[in-house]
A and B are shown apart, each in its own frame.
Chain A
Amino acid sequence: MAKELIMTGCRAAAEGAKAAEVEVICSFPIRPYTAIMMELAKMVADGELNAEFIHGEGEHAQLSVVLGAAASGARAYTGSSGVGVTYAMEIYSPMAGGRYPAQMAIADRTLDPPGDFGSEHTDAMCTRDQGWLLGWADSPQEVYDNTLINYRVGEDHRVMLPQMVCQEGYFVSHIPDKVILGDQSQVKKFLPPYRPIGPLSTTKPVSHGPQIRPDQGAPMDAMRAAVFLDVPKVIEEATADFNRIFGRNYDPFVDQYKLADAEIAFFVMGAHANTCRKAVDRLRKQGVKAGMARLRWVRPWPTHQLANALGHVKAIGVVETSTSYGGAMRGGNLIHELRASLYDLDQRPLVTSFMAGLGGETIWPADFDYMAKVLTEMVKEKKTKRYVYWIGM
């Protein structure tokens, strides 16, 4: 029987991992994701989960342990936050290039300096070009759901890629909300057991990761890139199955809110969408035709889905919660890819960005009102005056 409970995002991630019957877990403490591992440690200690719980000696080791486990046929799970995510940087490419579909839970956090516990997308965004699946949830419920959806997509033989399941530190990881936990029969129906391809074995010897010649590099890179052409289809299938089996209503790629007739739109990621929806409602009451698009996957980037969802809007404000110092627009990362996605449209929306929620700051309803004002002026003047506005200075 499905159960409805009140829990934090961290607990929801652990419940997702437990439902997926993960077999090798590797921990290392760093706030705020730590609570996920605390929950799993207790589940293993209480005999609710038959898994090896390994205390890694750092995030680099965490990734290495789950790489070895996934290469040997175990469903493996780890996680991190902030500078922990970047400490493990060496291992992201070997994980993805070796096609080891382990999962990493992220409760995001700023990078140093200075030390700050606050949420920011910057940590996991740093890994976006290493070949992992990557996306943010907007609630504990979606964290639980994404944990299962990501294993299903990542372990699909057309994909075989590691997955980064992100939630915002504190906003989602530590604020309890309603979560419906699936019945184990639903989970079994949705998520088949992990079937590794050519795992390490004593009966069928294999070699994983030999050296290549430089001229063998380009075809391999092309293969890694080509996988991402197939991933969207697998995500669509998995999301449709998930919606059917668990009774949810996810759009596979872009969560659209009042976009159909919108003139201005906010482009957001994660739980800031919850404030944004209320702001859209309020703006609508004031006669502003506002809407919202929430990105569910950063990798694969849903290029065409975004063009379809946002092409008709007159002005878009990208709400950036990560930094791209010195980047093309001198602000965050998302605006680059969104503008690229819209480039081939005959009629391109105007696009600017708002640096908001950095350092773990709340993005307030009033901030969205200000953004709406900027976007409305852009529509009126038919011009993008600035590429980036810093909110909360």
Chain B
Amino acid sequence: MQAFNYKFQQLEPLKSFKRVPVPEMYVPGHRTCAGCGPALNYRLVAKAAGKETIFIGPTGCMYVANSSYLCTPYAVSWIHAQITNGGAVASGIEAAFKVAARKGRNTGVFPNIIVMAGDGGSVDIGLQAMSGMMYRNHKVLFICYDNESYANTGIQTSPTTPYGAKTTFTPPGKEIPEGKVLFPKDPPQLVIGGHPAVKYVATTTIAHPLDLMNKVRKALSQPGPTFLHMLATCPKGWLFPEHLTKEMARLAVETGMWTLYEWENGTYKYTNVPKKYKPVNEYMKHQGRFAHLKPEHIAKMQAFVDEKIKNVKQAIAVAAPVPTARQKA
């Protein structure tokens, strides 16, 4: 096929909060819970991306709570996708805009095409569609807003729910005292490990808004598929007070439960690395989902996190955590 010069957008980094665009692309009028992390996440992503954007919203909290009663809070175009197929619907949209540009039907800039999927819609039931999109080199930013559970359906475990968390599908009991016995998937490593077309992957949290917005803008300025993994804390699912939404995300980074990094063309760059990590219990003790855990379970979590952050200072990939089999503590 003849090379065609699509008018892809280049979004400059925001040097400070003063440079953050004022217009909101995710506006009030939705029904998310008090203290909702994903809603704040959406607002920051939309603000960073700007007007020339199309969102694909697979089923999840950010579908059900945002678009109730035929109203939506999007000031840009948005389309619902099934929880299964965000990546595939985005592929079709991107392809349509490419043909339209080639045929001269659309002469403006190429839209930012962003899939805003939960953890289930990204790395569980949505994994196949996400992977297909990335393999095929579509110019799409796939964001996993990770609230570490199927929250919209009433807090069931997902592949990113941490070890030891209580969910309605992993209730602690006499036989299974930890609640969840499995350790989570690692979404960015899933993407990096097997998708050569992806050149930019990063992690961020809602407690680091400038970092988050700049990663969105950098991802959108790449010519191909990109992936962002965002920690979107969930008071209702994790059982912590609503006013601690940002605090939980900050503590996740300070304890090593979450690491902030960029991966660009094979090179890792870690940021916000604490001089000394706080013990994981500093993070876990605020959250009712971990309240049932015994000291040995917390020790197991600490060992998992220690292994994960071992190589962070050398800026190499996080080590794959080991234990996954069901076992009594």
Contacts and interface: CB of A to CB of B under 8 A. Distances in A.
Given A65-B95, A73-B96, A216 B70 contact: yes
Given A60-B84, A71-B96, 19 more contacts: A23-B100, A24-B95, A24-B99, A52-B98, A57-B129, A60-B129, A61-B85, A64-B88, A65-B95, A67-B89, A72-B96, A74-B92, A74-B96, A200-B93, A202-B77, A202-B109, A205-B74, A205-B75, A206-B78
Given A64-B89, A208-B80, A210-B71, A202 B95 contact: no
**Nearest 4 pairs between A and B by C-beta?**
A68-B92, A209-B80, A64-B88, A57-B132
B108 A203 contact: yes
B195 to A, nearest CB: 13
Contacts of A200: 54, 77, 79, 93
B70 A212 contact: yes
B131 interface: yes
A71 B79 contact: yes
A90 B88 CA distance: 13
A65 B88 contact: yes
Given A57-B129, A60-B88, A61-B129, A202 B99 contact: no
A26 B132 contact: no
Nearest to B85: A64
Contacts of B80: 208-210
Contacts of A23: 96, 99-100, 103
Contacts of B294: none
A244 to B, nearest CB: 29
B85 A26 contact: no
Q: Which of B85, B103, B105, B131 has the most CB of A within 10 A?
A: B85
Interface residues of A, number: 43
A207 B78 contact: yes
Contact of B63 (A72, A202, A211): A211
A72 to B, nearest CB: 4
Contacts of B77: 200-202, 205-208
B208 interface: no
14 contacts: A23-B96, A57-B129, A64-B84, A64-B89, A65-B92, A66-B92, A68-B56, A68-B96, A69-B93, A70-B96, A73-B100, A209-B67, A210-B71, A212-B70
A68 B88 CA distance: 8
Contact of B93 (A57, A68, A205): A68
A19 interface: no
Contact of B136 (A55, A91, A210): A55
Interface in B201-250: none
Interface string B1-34: 1000000000000000000000000000000000
B79 A202 contact: no
B92 A50 contact: no
Given A74-B100, A207-B78, A202 B52 contact: yes
B87 to A, nearest CB: 8
Interface in A61-108: 61, 64-74, 76, 90-91, 94
A381 B172 CA distance: 71
A54 interface: yes
Contacts of A70: 92, 96
A181 interface: no
A203 B71 CA distance: 19
A24 B51 CA distance: 25
Contacts of A302: none
B81 A64 contact: yes
A210 B53 CA distance: 18
A90 B108 CA distance: 34
A67 B85 CA distance: 10
Given A57-B131, A71-B79, A200-B79, A207 B95 contact: no
A307 interface: no
Contacts of A176: none
B176 interface: no
Contact of B92 (A57, A69, A208, A212): A69
A290 interface: no
B192 interface: no
A40 to B, nearest CB: 14
A202 B111 contact: yes
Interface in A347-383: none
B68 interface: yes
A202 B70 contact: no
Nearest to B56: A68
